[in-house]
Structure 1
């Protein structure tokens, strides 16, 4: 059959649509929202290409509207996890043997489906199931996921093209094999794009996958699975199961064919998974790949030379977009005393303009937090600040879960740079601010660097280039994604590969070739054209 070295389409970032009044995309999205709000979905698991249902049906409700039921998903147990593992292993051989360009074509088609006919549906599902406003859904579920799909295909071809030099008389080459066994994808609620990328990236590289989404993101995960099927992902390559985390972990992490985990979630869960893998290491056929992005206690530090309005806007956008439920969300801020009023005043003015409510009302910038557990944790932190001698609330501080899990965007001002909310990840719309003396900029950076166990994102605002360089160097290990004069959120695939170190994960940079390298096992092949016929080397000859 014909062969060739194929060039894939050059990846470009998907343009972000505005959803402004009277635009086509706004009308299409409102129609999709209306359709989904008027039907109760019956959501099965997908194992080996088959829809699997159980007697244990769990209802799904929008975080912003408890009274409404979006549908039901079928909760599985350990038998379904076994089925998914078996299906992944059964599909492995055919998928691995499929030519890479056909894998590429499947996921390029998925990208076009996401950006095209499924755009309104995936955005609407994300808005309803995860309480995101239209813009936050667009940059996540439509644009970022299309970017992951397209750029990963390009990175795959770059990896395959990376080949060694060959000396005269021989030919050296490297083939990039998928891992032996199956990969487990454990995905979060906060980004539909991440939920899609974690199973997709290993599958693109020839692996088969067992995928467990967050129970609070099943609604959009089902749409992603629909897209995978429509794009032509073969049966058993990606298997979607809904079961409790401990049940899935017990079955997956004890299986001898477990080859790796692609994870985004809490640090505690990731550490427990790592520990379990270590305890089971003698059971596995190979050393599993452990790839994880966990939490963050992301910072903004402003220098006395900063643009005060830019800092204020960076706090508001970086701290409160998607209710502060981004791994990268700004949650601790250090501002110089001499500029504090210039920063705080416009910050409060901007916050006063923000409206909170149902995301189907496009006038609402703030929506609900994901569930009651998150709501209760955030409310407790706010209540503690109200009675603390080291802190006071200067904005927000209200909350209400009577109709939905609404936490008002809140700013806590503390006199203690190691106050609880400067250290602990809350994952919500709560920002804690500390005012430092202007001449203690370097000392404050040292405090910042040592305060939190995390090192995901951070930002320096400075118009003084010496100060910007100093912060960039001084905080080199404090963040895997560092921003100069910008908020610490909004990493774009192909532009800012994302991930952090320390307690924030393995820093394998989602949206880059380095992440895809984790899902292959290279094999070096050396071919000698005219092999030696005698053991002796010239140095053995007599004078």
Structure 2
């Protein structure tokens, strides 16, 4: 086994696409090419393109009149073929030397970081309505996932048991027996690429169900993996409906579920698996990250300008469609006037529109369903003026795309609907608390929701930081001090939460990979015993 150095984060070398740069010109040309070439996107089963005839149109979120292409969906017949191809591929893939498997993802990472970068950035921007900056950090995160997961896998394989006199002990880090289902979300291209490939890197085979709204960008990931040398059938790209998926989840050779999405969907999938547990060859591994009701909590010693700036970045970037996005804020009375003044000055400067216009700060939310959900919360706030005061934004416009203005709402009820439920949009609800109720309000923050994904505390007082870190210990799996609760970097802030936010098997870290491995301990005795009698027998 060779020595492997810890990778450097691609996220530290983002392309800026500054005015006049050649990267900007290449990106604009690629965006125009995407505009002119709608695609017919098949399933990919056993490395082969499969056109099922059951299609859905893919619309651009910030221009719903624009067709990106049509995507073919898998039905029960295609899922049966995918399982068959996966299990066939498992025989060779599960026994291949780990470095041969890893080489596929190292090549894919290098291709994505260089020759395929502009193409994929344009796809992310168009399909997910991300600005160039948001698209860059998304792509860089997938590059980091692939590079760091190889590094962590190298470290895991070197982890071996202790030796004793007259014996040789070793771990055989086996993949799981069967196939894994990866269910991926719409909001992060990087997560979509990581969920099927982390288990595959460990020697497993996968059925990948991408979110229907982002099939264009996700399809490019699958094409890239095949181009990088991923053997046919190791990952099968099969967007399918929930009804068809139940059969797959009850298959006796299901060995695991890797999921990111809503709490309600994760609960349903886990219940489906639980109801069939006696039929499986092995107990399936269930790994999931769901949602959050993420907080920013300010102490009276916080810098109000830093607090305001991070409220905007944490709450409104990617239109608030991050499971880590700041959605509720707790601000002391002594700071509120300065913070409110900052927000009133800065929020109107946030420009919203098509992301192909590189002067825009925000794009649109992903689809009509998301638009209606967010609008419903804003209508609720307007209809309950005794509880909510709309300070900024609140406008919704679906005439061309699905646009929701960055919105700040103040509430008098810290346990109300907008402080407890996940909105998944550019809406921040603020509760202003008495300065002398710091610890009491920290406990309130901890107890307000069932989620525990991300959170942040802003303070200059070190004792206040220590108190928040203690009282909010279980309120967030990723906890930030004087920073927004978004933007985790692979290897530096392994990501995941607990409670109703998921199983906290940190994505992009070694402990996530161990979930996709089943170690076999092998003991070899060098000089076998030749007498069965123990010494005490004489």
Q: TM-score, normalised by structure 1?
A: 0.97
Aligned equivalent of 2:22: 24
Aligned equivalent of 1:239: 236
Aligned equivalent of 1:276: 272
Counterpart pick for 2:37 among 32, 36, 39: 39
Counterpart pick for 1:83 among 68, 81, 84: 81
What is the distance in 2 between the residues matched to 1:402 and 1:500?
37
Aligned equivalent of 1:306: 302
Q: Give SS of 1:108's match.
A: helix
**Cα pair 1:6 1:101 within 8 Å, conserved:** no
Counterpart pick for 2:112 among 106, 111, 114: 114
What is the distance in 1 between the residues matched to 2:96 and 2:2?
15
After TM superposition, the structure 1 = structure 2 runs for residues 94-243 of structure 1, keeping only pairs within 5 Å, are 94-140=92-138, 142-243=139-240
Aligned equivalent of 1:54: 52
**Cα pair 1:8 1:153 within 8 Å, conserved:** no
The count of residues paired between Structure 1 and Structure 2 equals 535
What is the distance in 1 between the residues matched to 2:111 and 2:202?
20
Does residue 448 (structure 1) correspond to residue 445 (structure 2)? The answer is yes
What is the distance in 2 between the residues matched to 1:370 and 1:28?
25
Does residue 464 (structure 1) correspond to residue 461 (structure 2)? The answer is yes
What is the distance in 2 between the residues matched to 1:421 and 1:161?
48
Aligned equivalent of 2:339: 343
What is the distance in 2 between the residues matched to 1:237 and 1:108?
16
Counterpart pick for 1:532 among 518, 529, 538: 529
Q: Deviations over 1:432-473 (max 9, x none)?
A: 000000000111011111110100000000100000011001
Counterpart pick for 1:511 among 505, 508, 512: 508
Shift of 1:539: 3.3
* Stretch of structure 1 that moved more, 23-32 or 296-305: 23-32
What is the distance in 1 between the residues matched to 2:74 and 2:241?
8
Shift of 1:191: 0.3
Shift of 1:540: 3.4
After TM superposition, the structure 1 = structure 2 runs for residues 411-490 of structure 1, keeping only pairs within 5 Å, are 411-490=408-487
Q: Give SS of 2:108's match.
A: helix
Counterpart pick for 1:260 among 256, 259, 267: 256
Shift of 1:78: 1.1
Q: Deviations over 1:103-133 (max 9, x none)?
A: 1111000001110111111111111111111
Shift of 1:82: 1.1
What is the distance in 2 between the residues matched to 1:338 and 1:152?
46
What is the distance in 1 between the residues matched to 2:344 and 2:279?
56
Does residue 491 (structure 1) correspond to residue 509 (structure 2)? The answer is no
Q: Give SS of 1:146's match.
A: helix
* Stretch of structure 1 that moved more, 233-242 or 341-350: 341-350
Q: Give SS of 1:368's match.
A: coil
Q: TM-score, normalised by structure 2?
A: 0.98
What is the distance in 1 between the residues matched to 2:368 and 2:479?
32
What is the distance in 1 between the residues matched to 2:269 and 2:21?
46
What is the distance in 2 between the residues matched to 1:68 and 1:161?
51
What is the distance in 2 between the residues matched to 1:347 and 1:279?
49
What is the distance in 2 between the residues matched to 1:55 and 1:82?
17
Shift of 1:237: 0.3
Q: Give SS of 2:437's match.
A: helix
Structure 1: give runs of 5+ residues left out of the alignment: none
* Stretch of structure 1 that moved more, 80-89 or 178-187: 80-89
Counterpart pick for 1:402 among 399, 404, 408: 399
Shift of 1:9: 5.2
What is the distance in 2 between the residues matched to 1:193 and 1:41?
22
Shift of 1:529: 0.4
**Cα pair 1:300 1:458 within 8 Å, conserved:** yes
* Stretch of structure 1 that moved more, 120-129 or 479-488: 120-129
What is the distance in 1 between the residues matched to 2:405 and 2:32?
27
Shift of 1:31: 1.4
Shift of 1:24: 2.4
Q: Deviations over 1:312-346 (max 9, x none)?
A: 01100000000000010000000000110111211
